[in-house]
Structure 1
């Protein structure tokens, strides 16, 4: 029995982290890509930034958006001040540009409620969602808008760039390749919250306290028969490397959000109602189950008396030791091949392991969204 548990658990983890990504990338490479039109109709666009206690950087963020190469007459910016206790609302208007508006909420309600309130103010056919932390590349808005030249596209997803962080960089390179493959195959079901755009009429209000707007909003487009596509030239750049502790909190919040999303939208688990059930199961759900499979494999190895299982136990303990050491001594880990990647892998799966109990125990999940995280 321990041997069967070990093999089953290993197959699940292998499919999650290697099998499914490899299959998606392979299938995507075999599919011809239709060329984009030479000319793209430029629509009016509103960029929404939900912020809380961001007085120190919201001015620079707004300036960055105003410097976009998108036609100035067609670009609007809406900053939603989610009940800040500082001067975020005032700082957002420092440019005195009439294209910039601020909606100040009287109290902090969380990102979902802030976006719901802000979308009532949007009158443009396209909406771009952005965070206060990153900076857009000059062509980001144009690159997102170009994706909507295809009438079947409901959401365009840009790319988040994490410079100076080797572990996160490797994770995001793999994740970006997978998302691009899913886009090519029509399997895409999410975006990066730092940079994505939608057809405004497709927006559906989110339940208050929902954590993953960048999954909820694209899924609503899917339900209405539209596609989610990758816009690799639209970049949101993180200004500095993310500390492991902050990276862990962000991953935990995202993974808790996946459990929360399934509770709010149970149709995701129904293969007859979810148009992207297979990629959702293989990408999102499997990521939540994989750490439990790895834990089961470790326990099975410990209780088994089979000789080859003893070697499997030694290999697992060695791998976890290297990964733990990489997290505790990141500079030293850079000298050991794959050690940093092992540390990032351990961090991701530890966050996934803790996400279910965190979701079940903590009743007020809206506090997991913080303006400066």
Structure 2
């Protein structure tokens, strides 16, 4: 029995080390400069017409500000066809918005509620080969579109995504994003990134596939559509996008719960994403994405097996370790609640890390019961 428990613990922790240490480290080391970036061509303007798809459910004022910011870049305005794709939940404002839009810009709305339907409507209304997808809240640096279009024009690339600058103001979140960026660069250097940055990417129209209604991870779908049809997806480090919004840790928690639920939805709806024959990025998807929701499950399995093995060898030691672990968790909670100053802040950081660690269990539970309504409040 002891051997079985040790084997289970080693397997569970071994998978975690592979997904969280070995794979990220090796992939990050493989990263060079922005994969697929063509710095020499990006220095000047191009003469390629593009269709800009702005999927949104924001106010008319926010949409008009975003379009003004877009036209303030160095990409020639006369080469940009702009399609505002409204969420069906606010389709009643379509005519009013259209009256406010300038020439070369038109508004459409999705057939049903949700971003995927709005994107489908936007692409259907677009006329050019290059499709630029963007959201309402962010802002492009002046030459970001030029760099993206130049890069995606390189042979073999089906889509290129910009780099979202880490501006959260939270040191923990910014460090995490810097590590994530290094991993994406390594993935692109080998073949493709797993997910585009949904607020800024350019795709060849021939790789577009209509999105299923209710799909949560449109960014994952776009990448999957490219790589399963013979293209590659890269990232351009010099094409930078900023987001002026500031998110609390609760906001970040909700976002991660939403995206993880969407990833599990994707696996449930499209299991071929895990097929080596269908998806050239299946191994990266497995190690980079699915290790995350599996983490608390693997920790629980490995921890219980380890505790059981210790229990067989020394019951006193086993119970002492369990009591110490429970006391440590309780102490962190108390310090986060009661301690002032830096000590309290550090404890709150640890408490947030604990919440993130347990969060995949909520995503798994929602995926198991097919609860895809990720925009409603969940306590």
Measured at CA, do residues 185 and 103 of structure 1 come closer, stay the same or move farther in structure 2, by a change above 3 Å? same
1:58-92 Cα shifts (integer Å, max 9, x gaps): 23222221212211111122111112449864785
Instruction: Determine if the alignment matches structure 1 residue 24 to structure 2 residue 27.
Output: yes
Conserved? CA contact 2:19–2:291, under 8 Å: yes
Measured at CA, do residues 43 and 102 of structure 1 come closer, stay the same or move farther in structure 2, by a change above 3 Å? same
Report the Cα offset of residue 355 of structure 1. 1.1
Partner of 2:185: 180
Match of 1:356 among 334, 355, 364: 364
Match of 2:201 among 183, 192, 196: 196
TM-score by length of 2: 0.83
Conserved? CA contact 1:326–1:332, under 8 Å: no
Report the Cα offset of residue 292 of structure 1. 1.0
Q: Distance between the aligned counterparts of 2:176 and 2:116, measured in 1?
A: 26
Partner SS state of residue 54, structure 2: strand
Report the Cα offset of residue 298 of structure 1. 3.6
Measured at CA, do residues 355 and 76 of structure 1 come closer, stay the same or move farther in structure 2, by a change above 3 Å? same
Conserved? CA contact 1:78–1:118, under 8 Å: yes
Measured at CA, do residues 108 and 205 of structure 1 come closer, stay the same or move farther in structure 2, by a change above 3 Å? closer
Conserved? CA contact 1:53–1:88, under 8 Å: no
Question: Which shows bigger deviation, 184-193 or 325-334?
Answer: 325-334
Instruction: Determine if the alignment matches structure 1 residue 46 to structure 2 residue 51.
Output: yes
Partner of 2:222: 217
Question: Which shows bigger deviation, 15-24 or 231-240?
Answer: 231-240
Conserved? CA contact 2:31–2:186, under 8 Å: yes
Larger Rg: 2
Q: Distance between the aligned counterparts of 2:113 and 2:91, measured in 1?
A: 16
Q: Distance between the aligned counterparts of 1:360 and 1:322, measured in 2?
A: 33
Provide the alpha-carbon RMSD of the alignment: 3.3
Report the Cα offset of residue 321 of structure 1. 5.8
Q: Distance between the aligned counterparts of 2:364 and 2:200, measured in 1?
A: 27
Conserved? CA contact 2:191–2:232, under 8 Å: yes
1:217-246 Cα shifts (integer Å, max 9, x gaps): 111111111111111122232222212222
Partner of 1:368: 374
Report the Cα offset of residue 203 of structure 1. 0.4
TM-score by length of 1: 0.85
1:119-177 Cα shifts (integer Å, max 9, x gaps): 11111111111122222222221121121131200010212234123332222111111
Q: Distance between the aligned counterparts of 1:179 and 1:224, measured in 2?
A: 20
Match of 1:155 among 151, 156, 159: 159
Partner SS state of residue 41, structure 2: coil
Conserved? CA contact 1:326–1:333, under 8 Å: no
Instruction: Determine if the alignment matches structure 1 residue 145 to structure 2 residue 149.
Output: yes
Report the Cα offset of residue 322 of structure 1. 7.7
Partner of 2:136: 132
Conserved? CA contact 2:64–2:101, under 8 Å: no
Partner of 2:120: 116
Q: Distance between the aligned counterparts of 1:328 and 1:91, measured in 2?
A: 49
Partner SS state of residue 39, structure 1: helix
Alignment length (residue pairs):
365
Partner of 2:243: 238
Report the Cα offset of residue 213 of structure 1. 1.0
Report the Cα offset of residue 275 of structure 1. 0.9
1:88-139 Cα shifts (integer Å, max 9, x gaps): 647856864213221134x652111111111111111111111222222222
Question: Which shows bigger deviation, 176-185 or 326-335?
Answer: 326-335
Consecutive unaligned residues in structure 1, runs of 5 or more: none
Partner of 1:169: 174
Q: Distance between the aligned counterparts of 2:47 and 2:347, measured in 1?
A: 45
Conserved? CA contact 1:111–1:369, under 8 Å: no
Partner of 1:36: 38
Partner SS state of residue 38, structure 1: helix
Q: Distance between the aligned counterparts of 1:243 and 1:286, measured in 2?
A: 25
Partner SS state of residue 234, structure 2: strand
1:237-279 Cα shifts (integer Å, max 9, x gaps): 2222212222222111111111111222221122222211221
Partner of 2:291: 286
